[in-house]
Copies of this chain bind each other. A is one copy, B any other.
């Protein structure tokens, strides 16, 4: 945890003009409107290309530069822009560090980052230090120190760092957020989320296609298996907490009236990845000798300052149906995603009996979804991507703080390294830093307040 002196040190070095705003909690609210924006892309793999194709639909967005060291991925990105009628951007592709030239040389309002996890932090830092706002894919950083670094760099430079956690905009969880805010669940007590997704054919492929067909990863892999799988070799913890945690954070007002105080993590034995290699590649395949550190299922329990608990599951190595494991429970009732059911005392027709959540999700459909449902319908991941991309673009256009900001980026992402630490120490409880320097006590919610952002 940071000592008060650190805050003083920070304030001393902060951009002088920002100090008053900082003290009043209104940093990043400058009312400058910038109708046309210039956006750079770092990372044009499959995810980057997808977001690029969505951004390319905005006539007010110029994309002067992209950066990727994989020529074929960069070529695909150029085609997307060409097909969308955009001017051909400069391409930065000369090695791992060429992104630094892009953020230093280009005149950009913002930079979107969709690179391997370990690059998000250095790229975000470089962008902010060069006067660019950032939108980064999840997680934003991999260590406690790097999470702090994002926060301090954002505060010192005055540039935003948005975490592109699209699940915050999923239609069902936004409807439930709406219900939470209207008090249907009473005072929240307990939430669950997680990433329960069989990624075995993402972590392994044949080196030519993104999903399956072989048991290669690393240099012999393709797309995510090139880099993502190595995290399962090296790390045991909740490697990917933000999809489950993001929506819960908005419901529990984390960093804005509430905060996460401590966590414990416990991992099962590691079986799934090794078994998959043996089954698909044979016991003699060289990868059958790889020792995967990641337990197949990691359970993390978080305690909040206002009393609530959050249970997160990380479950990516085993055969199972996809589920983000959502459960939202308060003093008046609860919603569970796995049985698509809800129970509200005094409202549900039968005492102590689940009812389908269908009518509630319709009735409490979030204003944002009501407004944009036609545009969102065709976009990725059930429409979520439309909203997260729009929020990033709109925040840049208006020069306002994004609805998922650097404090969200840090507090969601820090769960991974702390979870690793807890497991390493036999599930011991680990304190979660307060990245808001105490301002969580007076901060107000910013996400999904109306039909705007």
* A318-B299 contact in complex given A190-B268, A429-B426, C-beta closer than 8 Å: no
Within 8 A of B (CB), among A397-444: 425-429
Docked CA distance A308–B271 (Å) = 11
Count copies of this chain in the complex. 2
Query: Is A352 interfacial (CB-CB < 8 Å)?
Result: yes
In the complex, the answer to whether A334 meets B320 with C-beta atoms within 8 Å is yes
The stretch of A63-71, A144-152, A215-223, A337-345 in contact with B is A337-345
Secondary structure at chain A's binding surface: helix, strand, loop or mixed?
Answer: loop
Query: Is A49 interfacial (CB-CB < 8 Å)?
Result: no
In the complex, the answer to whether A297 meets B329 with C-beta atoms within 8 Å is yes
Within 8 A of B (CB), among A313-335: 315, 318-322, 329-334
Residues of B close to A309: CB separation below 8 A: 266-268, 297, 299
Interface residues on A, range: 35 or more
Q: Known pairs A268-B309, A311-B311, A321-B353; list 20 more (Cβ under 8 Å).
A: A189-B296, A189-B297, A189-B318, A190-B297, A262-B426, A264-B301, A267-B309, A269-B306, A271-B331, A296-B331, A297-B309, A318-B330, A319-B333, A319-B345, A320-B334, A320-B343, A425-B429, A426-B429, A428-B429, A429-B429
Residues of B close to A331: CB separation below 8 A: 271-272, 275, 296, 318-319
Residues of B close to A330: CB separation below 8 A: 318
Docked CA distance A315–B311 (Å) = 14
In the complex, the answer to whether B354 meets A321 with C-beta atoms within 8 Å is yes
A-B contact pairs, 24 of them (CB 8 A): A187-B269, A187-B271, A189-B296, A189-B318, A190-B296, A190-B297, A190-B299, A198-B352, A262-B426, A262-B427, A264-B264, A264-B429, A266-B303, A268-B309, A275-B331, A295-B307, A296-B331, A297-B309, A299-B311, A318-B330, A319-B331, A319-B333, A428-B429, A429-B429
Q: Please, which residue of chain B has its CB at the minimum distance from the CB of A307?
A: B269
Closest 10 CB pairs of A and B: A269-B307, A319-B345, A264-B264, A427-B429, A339-B339, A190-B297, A189-B268, A266-B301, A268-B309, A338-B339
A172: min CB distance to chain B, Å: 15
Within 8 A of B (CB), among A200-251: none
Which one of B190, B296, B343 lies within 8 Å of A321 (CB-CB)? B343
Q: Please, which residue of chain B has its CB at the minimum distance from the CB of A198?
A: B352
Residues of B close to A297: CB separation below 8 A: 189-190, 309, 329
A425: min CB distance to chain B, Å: 8
Q: Please, which residue of chain B has its CB at the minimum distance from the CB of A188?
A: B268
Docked CA distance A193–B330 (Å) = 20
Residues of B close to A268: CB separation below 8 A: 189-190, 307-309
A426: min CB distance to chain B, Å: 5
In the complex, the answer to whether B334 meets A329 with C-beta atoms within 8 Å is no
Residues of B close to A354: CB separation below 8 A: 321
Which one of B198, B303, B334, B336 lies within 8 Å of A427 (CB-CB)? B303
Residues of B close to A301: CB separation below 8 A: 264, 266, 299, 301, 427
Q: Please, which residue of chain B has its CB at the minimum distance from the CB of A263?
A: B427
Docked CA distance A425–B429 (Å) = 9
Residues of B close to A271: CB separation below 8 A: 187, 189, 331
